[in-house]
Chain A
Amino acid sequence: MTITTASSTPTVLGPVADIPLGEGRTYAVDGDMIAVFRLRDGSLRAVSAVCPHKGGPLADGQIDNSIVVCPLHLFAWDLATGCSQSGQAPIDVYPVREDDGQILLGE
């Protein structure tokens, strides 16, 4: 697991309302693709957007309050730690939070 800070100051990705509850959307940040999920409890999670197994788009995967399941081969990762639950390489996780209705990526 690695936790990377996208930049020294948080990046505004756009309104939280752009992400429906329980779904994810992909954002391009400094040349990286980052999948941001809005859990059903309202909190946000951000992970690298590409599945390390076969390049699947993780933002299209299904989530609950702890994991994301890649839509291609159904491997699962922990959204908080990036650890795989199915023996794959971990994914990157990023700090993300909501501020005044906006998604802020970074510390």
Chain B
Amino acid sequence: MTQRLVVIGNGMAGARTVEEILARNGDFTVTMFGDEPYGNYNRIMLSNLLAGVETEEGIFLNDLAWYSENGITLNAGVKVERIDAKKKLVHDSNGVATPYDKLIIATGSYSWTPPMKNVHNPKRGYHQGVFAFRTLDDTRGMIRYARDHERAVVIGGGLLGLEAARGLQNHVSQVTLLHAMGHLMERQLDPKAGQMLQASVEGKLGIKVITNAMTTEILGKDRVTGVKLADGTVIECDVVVIAAGIRPNTEMVANSGLPVERGIVVDDQMRVQGEQDIYSVGECAQHRGNLYGLVAPLWDQAKVLADHITGRNPDAAYHGSKLSTKLKVAGIDVASMGLIAPETDDDEVVVYNEPKKGVYKQLIIRDDVLVGAVLVGDNSKAASLIQAFDRGTALPEERAGLIFDIGGPAGEVSPAEMADDAQVCNCNGVSKGAICGAVSSGCKTVSGVMDKTRAGKGCGTCKPLVQRIVEWANGGAVEEDPAASWYVPGVPMPKPELMAAIRQYELKSVSAVFDKLVPGGQHDAKSKMGLASLLKMMWADQYEDERDARFINDRVHGNIQKDGTFSVVPQMKGGVTTPAELKRIAEVAEKYRVPMVKLTGGQRIDLLGVPKEQLPAMWADLDMPSGYAYAKSFRTVKTCVGSDFCRFGVGDSTALGIAIEERYQGLEGPGKMKLAVTGCPRNCAEAYVKDLGVVAIDGGKWEIYVGGAAGAHIRKGDLLTTVDSAEEVIKLTGRFLQYYRENANWLERTYAFVPRIGIDRIREIVVEDSDGIAEALDAAVEEAVQAYKDPWKERAEPVTPGQFRTSLPLTVLPQVPVRA
């Protein structure tokens, strides 16, 4: 049944919550009340409006048409005066009582005025020439007045005050910023960073800053002539802007008998304490004792409330937000998160200070986890630090790498600085302009933009940059795609839930998963391969193989090439072959006129350019097992010659590599698994940069590294453990691979998986068996190993009609050059 939803407050929180509810097809008739006579606008952009870099139209999030299009009754410019929770009515300033079934209070904040003499004019409110900086009307008034005057004073050296000071420079020639505390932005910055920011603001921008400046009086009778400080100093000026902080708008709510402390007290569902049908979000809400004045927490709250109120997820819960900010304050890069000072003797403080350049960086680290950071003058590392802070991931031992790019690729580019035609995705040739175009034509999620433009759909290295551009093009915000956490795009579940459901219903084929777990039973081509891999992992030989669920590579057991031909790569365990095998490969290459014979990066021979219909005959002539150069599966174990011939080798890497490859050949996973064993730390087989790499060290021991990569991403693997025997290496290899198979996201390689889980945690599980699942992992991988069948045996009896029939055009497109 359609319920009546009333929303008090038409600002960013109220409107955002309604948007989220609409997006979930909530069955409500919506009535909104807003003090301001407008649609809703982005309050954060008022600074840009003041600075003249944004127009009024540009800051509107939803104009009046949006309300009518969505059937929302907007009472703009109407104030709600009382809530009658008993009768479920809100009474407004027009004397109208509006009934509700559900009520959301999103009244936000007002601009706080510190106690000062003469700040108010009894007739007019503020003294002429004195402005708050909170609303569109405030900003309009300020611009109109400042235009005709010369000297401005801004009271308040927080973020808003700095923005106001910077913006006012656009209209007046002299700006003084007064701050009552000892340094600027004292809530976000430590004293050193605050002083650095002050030096930049004064030196680069020419704004005069006075700290410890307590303003006691506004001077002037009819209009402002100056301000007076506690120490008697008088600063002459014509305009005063008060940006000394905000306070939640709760008076009406408190007067209505609802629980208000510092803000309106809400629970984890954003429900007002003790009320069944009244909610509150945004700056006016007090959750677990905290008030939030930033956009990101407000959005999290809006989502939880929308999930809850629409019944999409009645148990959705808000757990509070970790606060981080990354912005340009008055043109200077500033980022801040968490603590600004150490709290215990064990807190590690890393500081870098370069006063001449105006660069200051401070990290506070506790137990290897980032608990606070302050950056001034250089935000190139802000995104990665915020990520580490939010997720609480373990930090690398090399702390310097957290604040500098050392020897690596150049630092992050900011989207604003990029040219429109700058190429972002180097695989699919997508420019910044194309990404922004997709955003402005309505794609608001990163995955939506990626689908539309194919940016980030190649090797994937540009995905973080694509995300930053989408955020930037969206005005600093990006809608979270609910599908982002799903294992595959077509089944609405994250991996653990999906696996649980598959087990519960004993779903053993891909179509069974679609039929049972997708609302409406819709099949999805783009999800098939991921599901096939998952089911095979879970059910081993009980898996019902539907061939259409496989990617073409897995249907014909070769890697499809740009002209639709395939490559044939015979197995060559550990990179070792024999003259007889080499001869056979050469003969087959000649017989089938293979256009190119190539050594692969994985120490094998690649016969390239083979038409699909010739695959079975070639495999028969080769009579060797498949080398797995195509699937999301265990690929190769690269080795060096080790102790057999090498003067330096301390372990028999070749034998161990072959043993590992023999045991785990064909093992499927969420991504490909490339391994190596090297006979000494000289690392000729490049084991430090493999999904799993084994390094022989002196004393008969072996080191095992995991999570390395030297492809689209480059990462040195983390040392998992050191063991005494080859048997232990083989066992731990299987256990680690199985843990990865069961827990990684689809297409998540170990270089992303290992840092996500954390090497310490992986060591606990895989080596120390702290979770008691080692035996189960060993058993599961053993089952998978036993289910192995050489796919090239399908040559004799194709599994489906026409399995190897050509799909090529009549005339093969001349795309692949044939080398003589």
Same complex origin of A and B: yes
Instruction: Give the residues from 7 to 24 in chain A that come closer than 8 angstroms, CB to CB, to chain B.
Output: 17-24
CA distance A72 to B427 in the complex (A): 13
Instruction: Give the residues from 31 to 66 in chain A that come closer than 8 angstroms, CB to CB, to chain B.
Output: 31, 33, 35, 40, 49-50, 54-65
Interface size on B, residues (CB 8 A): 37
What string of 1s and 0s marks CB contacts (under 8 Å) between B427-461 and chain A? 01000000000000000000000011110010000
Residue pair B428, A73 in contact (C-beta under 8 Å): yes
Among B525, B805, B807, B810, point to the contact of A67 (Cβ < 8 A).
Answer: B525
B551 lies within 8 A of chain A by Cβ: yes
Residue pair A60, B815 in contact (C-beta under 8 Å): no
CB distance from B554 to the nearest CB of A (A): 11
25 contacts between A and B (CB under 8 A): A18-B801, A22-B548, A25-B805, A26-B806, A26-B808, A40-B511, A54-B562, A55-B813, A57-B564, A57-B807, A60-B555, A60-B560, A60-B564, A62-B526, A62-B529, A62-B548, A62-B549, A64-B522, A64-B528, A69-B526, A71-B551, A71-B552, A74-B457, A76-B525, A87-B452
Residues of B within 8 A of A40 (CB): 511, 523, 548
Residue pair A75, B809 in contact (C-beta under 8 Å): no
CB distance from B756 to the nearest CB of A (A): 25
CA distance A61 to B457 in the complex (A): 17
B454 nearest in chain A by CB position: A86
**A interface bracket (residues with beta carbon within 8 Å of B):** 35 or more
CB distance from A28 to the nearest CB of B (A): 6
CA distance A73 to B551 in the complex (A): 12
CA distance A65 to B454 in the complex (A): 22
CA distance A30 to B801 in the complex (A): 24
**Residues of A near any B CB (own CB < 8 A):** 17-26, 28, 31, 33, 35, 40, 49-50, 54-65, 67-69, 71-76, 85-87
Among A20, A54, A58, A73, point to the contact of B548 (Cβ < 8 A).
Answer: A20
CA distance A85 to B523 in the complex (A): 16
| Known contacts A68-B525, A72-B562, A76-B525; is-contact A60 B552 (Cβ 8 Å) | yes
Residue pair B809, A59 in contact (C-beta under 8 Å): no
CB distance from A76 to the nearest CB of B (A): 7
Residue pair B428, A18 in contact (C-beta under 8 Å): no
| Known contacts A73-B454, A86-B454; is-contact A20 B547 (Cβ 8 Å) | yes
B546 lies within 8 A of chain A by Cβ: yes
CA distance A55 to B552 in the complex (A): 16
CB distance from B769 to the nearest CB of A (A): 39
Residue pair A55, B560 in contact (C-beta under 8 Å): no
Residues of B within 8 A of A59 (CB): 807
Residue pair A21, B548 in contact (C-beta under 8 Å): yes
Among A25, A35, A86, point to the contact of B451 (Cβ < 8 A).
Answer: A86
CB distance from A80 to the nearest CB of B (A): 14
CB distance from B807 to the nearest CB of A (A): 4
Residue pair A26, B526 in contact (C-beta under 8 Å): no
Residues of B within 8 A of A18 (CB): 801-802
CB distance from B152 to the nearest CB of A (A): 49
Residues of B within 8 A of A23 (CB): 547-548, 800
Among B523, B560, B815, point to the contact of A65 (Cβ < 8 A).
Answer: B523
Most buried by A among B522, B800, B807, B810: B807
| Known contacts A54-B562, A57-B807; is-contact A64 B523 (Cβ 8 Å) | yes
Residues of B within 8 A of A50 (CB): 809
Residues of B within 8 A of A31 (CB): 810
5 closest A-B pairs (Cβ-Cβ)? Answer: A22-B548, A57-B807, A59-B807, A64-B523, A20-B800
CB distance from A36 to the nearest CB of B (A): 11
CA distance A21 to B122 in the complex (A): 82
Residues of A within 8 A of B261 (CB): none
B434 nearest in chain A by CB position: A87
CB distance from B786 to the nearest CB of A (A): 27
Residues of A within 8 A of B563 (CB): 55
Residues of A within 8 A of B523 (CB): 40, 64-65
What string of 1s and 0s marks CB contacts (under 8 Å) between B754-791 and chain A? 00000000000000000000000000000000000000
What string of 1s and 0s marks CB contacts (under 8 Å) between B808-819 and chain A? 111001010000
CB distance from B455 to the nearest CB of A (A): 11
Residue pair A17, B801 in contact (C-beta under 8 Å): yes
Residue pair A55, B548 in contact (C-beta under 8 Å): no
| Known contacts A22-B546, A25-B807; is-contact A76 B526 (Cβ 8 Å) | yes
Residue pair A63, B457 in contact (C-beta under 8 Å): no
Known: A24-B807, A67-B525; 6 extra A-B contacts, CB below 8 A, are A56-B564, A57-B807, A62-B551, A62-B552, A76-B525, A87-B453
Residues of B within 8 A of A55 (CB): 563-564, 809, 813, 815
B808 nearest in chain A by CB position: A57
| Known contacts A55-B563, A67-B525; is-contact A26 B805 (Cβ 8 Å) | yes
B524 lies within 8 A of chain A by Cβ: yes
CA distance A18 to B803 in the complex (A): 10
CB distance from A41 to the nearest CB of B (A): 9
CB distance from B666 to the nearest CB of A (A): 21
CB distance from B674 to the nearest CB of A (A): 22
CB distance from A47 to the nearest CB of B (A): 12
CA distance A23 to B524 in the complex (A): 14
